[in-house]
């Protein structure tokens, strides 16, 4: 199991390592709405497509990848941008509003309960102990900041 914080230009071999070592679970701490850099756009982003290929290889080999957000009070919405939709297509699970550390603990627990990948994915998408909320209440966030 691993927790990986995403940032522009991170080494695609980080995810390749987890695939090669046969890790069963990976929580990605993505940016904003739940993205990692997967598109090669120019010289500075060279290698991002390798990140995508390695993540697909990880998932295709039976690994479970869960996307969370680095944003405080963040909720992933992987349908907004094409990168998120591409990640969903290869099987990355949206972690909703789970904190990355919470998603990691949950993934460890889920994989301890079952070896069936489909059942594990369904469990990750199910609110078990209040770790996922139906919607983020912005008024509660504003009150806390005051």
- Domain ranges, ordered by start, for the chain: 2-145
Say what the pTM is. 0.89
Residue 30 phi/psi, 5-degree rounding, is -85, 175
Tens digits of per-residue pLDDT, 128-138? 999 999 876 65
Tens digits of per-residue pLDDT, 14-57? 999 999 999 999 999 999 899 998 988 888 777 889 999 999 99
The pLDDT value recorded for residue 138 is 59
Residue 6 phi/psi, 5-degree rounding, is -90, 145
CATH architecture of the domain with residue range 2-145:
3-Layer(aba) Sandwich (3.40)
């Amino acid at each position: 199991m691993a927790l990986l914080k995403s940032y522009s230009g991170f080494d695609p071999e980080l995810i390749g390592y987890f695939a090669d070592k046969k890790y069963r679970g990976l929580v990605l701490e993505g940016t904003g709405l739940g993205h990692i850099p997967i598109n090669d756009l120019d010289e500075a982003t060279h290698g991002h497509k390798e990140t995508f290929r390695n993540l697909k290889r990880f998932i295709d080999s039976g690994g479970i990848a869960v996307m969370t957000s680095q944003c405080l009070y963040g909720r992933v919405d992987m349908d907004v941008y094409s990168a998120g939709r591409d990640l969903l297509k290869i099987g990355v699970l949206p972690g909703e509003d789970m904190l990355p550390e919470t998603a990691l603990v949950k993934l460890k627990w889920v994989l301890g309960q079952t070896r069936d990948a489909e059942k594990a994915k369904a469990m990750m998408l199910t609110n078990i102990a209040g770790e996922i909320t139906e919607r983020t209440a912005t008024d509660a966030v504003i009150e806390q900041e005051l």
